[in-house]
């Protein structure tokens, strides 16, 4: 499959929205109008909320011909999200702002058999193989919301400033929720880096509306051969939607990467399910797994779609990953737990299961760590950059 996809042209409304900085997080581009019209703002909002036409294709074990679904769990919630955004559900207080303590040390190059990992924020990581730079669900906006005036707001700066990113070759997009598919950030990446974007079924036409050219969409277990990597989309237990009318019209999932003789796994957003054992059986040894540990409370609401730290440790064991790293915490308050609770609960879960801290790690926002392939357990080769 070619890594280049033609584009006939983004709609004028989407282009205007991006140029004028209408999407959440950043001001207008230099030289662009600072007070766009109400009509332009409304058009940009409607394009984002619509989420594209969705996917059309034959039914499968996770698609009924119109909507995607989880084979063994509910596929999302909506009203409770609105209640939570309105502040009607008690939540643990988060600080208004946290200063990052780590500074990234992004390598210009890597030796064969090494992976460098930099935690940017939330679920956004820079994964570097030799000659290959990858971003996962990149989010640089101030809020993860269709509008910049309200919605979950970041409590810390990105650990790696956008202008300090190395040349980005590949962007993995696990699904279309606002804290994972951030249109403003993706448009900036397209303008600055022209990367290859890989996502789930039903997202390509939506992304093309915003000028993204090289977009590939995959089904679960489908592989994409790129010049320097093989990407396989893997199952996840979650849901999709950017507005009330496109719920579950596009697919969610994770990604398995093979590059330079190394393997990594990005789980995306997911509840705990048997798919972790399936991934181990189908795809073999995983050197490095990125597993979500936050936005898990209250369990009666979040349980089917967001793992808690206990389940993340069980997923680590199911995958038999050499090293796992926690994601999806510490930047946007999306669950009722406190900002430090995922780290506290992860330490307790590791102790319960006999998993050492160097087998299931967490990084400081902005921290870079290097991991080396070895015939001995990979945690013995973990080096802090």
pLDDT tens track for 74-85 = 887 655 554 554
Phi and psi at residue 224, in whole multiples of 5°? Answer: -125, 120
User: Could you give the 3-state DSSP secondary structure of residue 207?
Assistant: helix
Question: Using 50, 70 and 90 to split pLDDT, how confident is the model at 31?
Answer: very low
Closest to 315 in 3D by CA, of 347, 360, 356, 250: 360
What is the structure's pLDDT at 237? Answer: 98
pLDDT tens track for 187-245 = 999 999 999 999 999 999 999 999 999 999 999 999 999 999 999 999 999 999 999 88
Does residue 223 belong to any structural domain of this protein?
yes
Does residue 5 belong to any structural domain of this protein?
no
Does residue 287 belong to any structural domain of this protein?
yes
Does residue 211 belong to any structural domain of this protein?
yes
**What pTM was computed for the model?**
0.88
Does residue 328 belong to any structural domain of this protein?
yes
Phi and psi at residue 188, in whole multiples of 5°? Answer: -65, -40
* CATH assignment at residue 136: 3.60.15.10
Residue 253, domain extent: 12-384
Does residue 1 belong to any structural domain of this protein?
no
* C-alpha torsion 235→175→125→327, nearest 10: -60
pLDDT at 122 over 90: yes
Does residue 3 belong to any structural domain of this protein?
no
Give CA–CA dist 340/330, Å, rounded: 7
Pairing assessment for the beta strands 323-327 and 288-292 based on DSSP bridges: parallel
The domain tally of the chain equals: 1
Structure tokens at 375: 């015939």
Does residue 6 belong to any structural domain of this protein?
no
Q: How far does CA 103 lie from the centroid of its chain?
A: 21
Range 283-298 average pLDDT: 96
Give CA–CA dist 346/308, Å, rounded: 8
Give CA–CA dist 200/48, Å, rounded: 17
């Amino acid at each position: 499959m070619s890594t280049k996809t033609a584009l006939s042209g983004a709609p004028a409304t989407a282009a205007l929205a991006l140029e004028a900085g209408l999407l959440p997080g950043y001001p207008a581009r230099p030289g662009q109008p600072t007070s766009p019209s109400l009509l332009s703002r409304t058009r940009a909002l409607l394009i984002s909320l619509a989420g594209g036409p969705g996917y059309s294709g034959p039914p499968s074990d996770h698609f009924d011909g119109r909507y995607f679904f989880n084979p063994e769990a509910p596929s999302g919630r909506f009203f409770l999200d609105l209640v939570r955004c309105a502040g009607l559900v008690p939540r643990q207080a988060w600080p208004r702002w946290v200063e990052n303590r780590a500074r990234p040390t992004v390598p210009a190059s890597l030796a064969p058999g090494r992976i460098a990992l930099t935690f940017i924020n939330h679920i956004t990581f820079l994964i570097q193989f030799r000659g290959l730079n990858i971003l996962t669900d990149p989010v640089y906006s101030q809020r993860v919301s269709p509008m910049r005036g309200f919605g979950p707001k970041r409590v810390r700066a990105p650990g790696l400033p956008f202008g300090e990113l190395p040349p980005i070759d590949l962007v993995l997009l696990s699904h279309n929720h606002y804290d994972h598919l951030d249109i403003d950030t993706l448009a900036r990446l397209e303008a600055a880096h022209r990367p290859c974007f890989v996502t789930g079924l039903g997202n390509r036409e939506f992304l093309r509306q915003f000028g993204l050219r090289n977009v590939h969409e995959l089904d679960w277990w489908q592989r994409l051969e790129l010049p320097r990597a093989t990407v396989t989309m893997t199952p996840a237990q979650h849901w999709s939607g950017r507005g009330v009318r496109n719920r579950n019209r596009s697919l969610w999932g994770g990604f398995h990467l093979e590059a330079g003789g190394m393997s990594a796994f990005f789980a995306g957003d997911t509840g705990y399910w048997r798919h972790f054992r399936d991934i181990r059986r189908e795809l073999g040894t995983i050197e490095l797994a990125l597993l979500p540990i936050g936005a898990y409370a209250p369990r009666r609401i979040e349980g089917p779609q967001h793992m808690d730290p206990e389940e993340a440790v069980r997923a680590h064991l199911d995958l038999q990953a050499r090293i796992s790293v926690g994601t999806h915490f510490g930047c946007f308050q999306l669950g009722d737990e406190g900002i430090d609770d995922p780290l506290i609960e992860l330490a307790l879960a590791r102790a319960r299961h006999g998993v050492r801290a160097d087998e299931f790690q967490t990084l400081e926002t902005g921290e870079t760590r290097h991991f080396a392939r070895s015939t001995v357990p990979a945690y013995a080769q973990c080096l802090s950059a």
